[in-house]
Structure 1
Amino acid sequence: MASVTASQPPTTAERVAADEPAPARRRTRFRRQLRSRIILAFVLLGFGLTGLFAWATNWTRNRVENQLVEDVMNRNIEQAARQFEQNPDDPSFAVDQMRGYVYTADKFDSVRVNWPEWYELRDGIYGMTGVGQDGEPFSYKLAVRKTPKAWFFLAYDMSQASRGEAQFQRAIWASVFVFTLLSLLVGWWSASRVMSPVSELANRLKQSGRSSEPENLASHFPDDEVGQLAEALDDYAERLTEVVQRDREFNADVSHELRTPLAVIKGAVELLLSRPDVDEKTRNRLLRIQRAEQQCTDLISALLLLSRNERGHGATDVAKSAEQLLDAHRAQLGGKPLELRLEGGRALVVDAPEAAVSVALGNLIGNAVKYTTEGEVVVRIGRRSVDVVDSGPGLSPEDAAKLFERGYRGTHAGHSQGGGIGLSIVRRLCNLYEWDVQVRPGERCGVVATLTFDAPSVLENGRETAR
Structure 2
Amino acid sequence: MRSRRKLRFRLVVSFALFGFGLSALFAFAALNIRSRVEDQLVNSSLLDDAKWANQQAHAGVPSGSRLLTGSVLSDRTIYKAPLSWQNLPTGVHDINEPGDDGQMHHYKLAVYRENGIISFIRYDVSREELGKRQLVTSVVAAVFLFGLISLALGLWLSRKVLKPVSELAQRLREFRKNGKVEALAPHFADDEVGELALALDEYANRLTSMVERDREFNSDVSHELRTPLAVIASTTELLQGSPDLTDKLRERLKRIERASRQATELIEALLLLSRAERRGPTRGETTDVAKVAADVIESQRPQMRDKPLHVELVVNGALSINAPGSVLSVALTNLIGNAIKYTLEGQVTVRVEKDRIDVIDTGPGIKPEDAERLFQRGVRGEGAGGSGAGLGLAIVRRLCELYGWDVSMRPRPDTNGAIASIVFQ
TM-score range, shorter chain: 0.7 to 0.9
Identical aligned residues as a percent = 47
Q: Does 1:341 align with 2:312?
A: yes
SS at match of 2:33: helix
Q: Structure 2 CA distance, aligned partners of 1:382 and 1:200? A: 54
| Contact 1:342–1:378, Cα closer than 8 Å, also in 2 | yes
Q: Does 1:419 align with 2:409?
A: no
Q: In the alignment, what sits opposite 1:12? A: none
Q: In the alignment, what sits opposite 2:232? A: 265
| Contact 2:60–2:72, Cα closer than 8 Å, also in 1 | no
Q: Does 1:453 align with 2:418?
A: no
Q: In the alignment, what sits opposite 1:436? A: 406
Q: Structure 2 CA distance, aligned partners of 1:247 and 1:96? A: 99
Q: In the alignment, what sits opposite 1:93? A: 63
Q: Structure 2 CA distance, aligned partners of 1:110 and 1:422? A: 110
Instruction: Spell out, residue by residue over 1:178-201, the C-alpha distance to the aligned partner (whole angstroms, 9 max, x if none).
Output: 322332233233323333322221
Pick closer, same or farther for the CA change 1:203–1:383 going to 2, 3 Å. farther
Instruction: Spell out, residue by residue over 1:54-98, the C-alpha distance to the aligned partner (whole angstroms, 9 max, x if none).
Output: 1222123324433543454245324412322xxx25532123564
Q: Structure 1 CA distance, aligned partners of 2:403 and 2:159? A: 41
Which amino acid in structure 2 is aligned with residue 390 of structure 1? D
Bigger mean CA deviation after superposition, 48-57 or 321-330: 48-57
Q: Does 1:151 align with 2:118?
A: yes
Q: In the alignment, what sits opposite 1:405? A: 376
Q: In the alignment, what sits opposite 1:299? A: 266
Pick closer, same or farther for the CA change 1:212–1:160 going to 2, 3 Å. closer
Q: Structure 2 CA distance, aligned partners of 1:287 and 1:307? A: 30
Q: Structure 1 CA distance, aligned partners of 2:308 and 2:97? A: 102
Q: Structure 2 CA distance, aligned partners of 1:361 and 1:168? A: 83
| Contact 2:97–2:104, Cα closer than 8 Å, also in 1 | yes
Q: How does 1:154-169 map to 2 (within 5 A)?
A: 154-169=121-136
Pick closer, same or farther for the CA change 1:65–1:356 going to 2, 3 Å. same
Q: In the alignment, what sits opposite 1:199? A: 166
Q: In the alignment, what sits opposite 2:33? A: 60
Which amino acid in structure 2 is aligned with residue 243 of structure 1? M
Offset of residue 366 of structure 1: 1.6
Instruction: Spell out, residue by residue over 1:11-68, the C-alpha distance to the aligned partner (whole angstroms, 9 max, x if none).
Output: xxxxxxxxxxxxxxx9xx85x3322220121122111221122122212332443354
| Contact 1:395–1:440, Cα closer than 8 Å, also in 2 | yes
Pick closer, same or farther for the CA change 1:422–1:182 going to 2, 3 Å. same
Which amino acid in structure 2 is aligned with residue 365 of structure 1? I
Offset of residue 322 of structure 1: 0.6
Offset of residue 277 of structure 1: 2.4
Q: In the alignment, what sits opposite 1:49? A: 22
Pick closer, same or farther for the CA change 1:334–1:131 going to 2, 3 Å. farther
Q: Does 1:326 align with 2:326?
A: no
Q: In the alignment, what sits opposite 1:364? A: 335
| Contact 1:111–1:118, Cα closer than 8 Å, also in 2 | no
SS at match of 1:182: helix
Q: In the alignment, what sits opposite 1:8? A: none
| Matched length | 415
Q: Structure 2 CA distance, aligned partners of 1:398 and 1:321? A: 31
Q: In the alignment, what sits opposite 2:94? A: 128
| Contact 2:368–2:411, Cα closer than 8 Å, also in 1 | no
Q: In the alignment, what sits opposite 2:358? A: 387
Offset of residue 234 of structure 1: 0.8
Bigger mean CA deviation after superposition, 184-193 or 229-238: 184-193
SS at match of 1:143: strand
Q: TM-score, normalised by structure 1?
A: 0.79
Offset of residue 387 of structure 1: 2.0
| Contact 2:315–2:353, Cα closer than 8 Å, also in 1 | yes
RMSD: 3.1
Mark the runs of 5 or more structure 1 residues left unpaired by the alignment. Answer: 1-25, 455-467
Pick closer, same or farther for the CA change 1:388–1:206 going to 2, 3 Å. farther
Offset of residue 402 of structure 1: 2.1
| Contact 1:112–1:118, Cα closer than 8 Å, also in 2 | no
Q: In the alignment, what sits opposite 1:37? A: 10
Bigger mean CA deviation after superposition, 49-58 or 231-240: 49-58
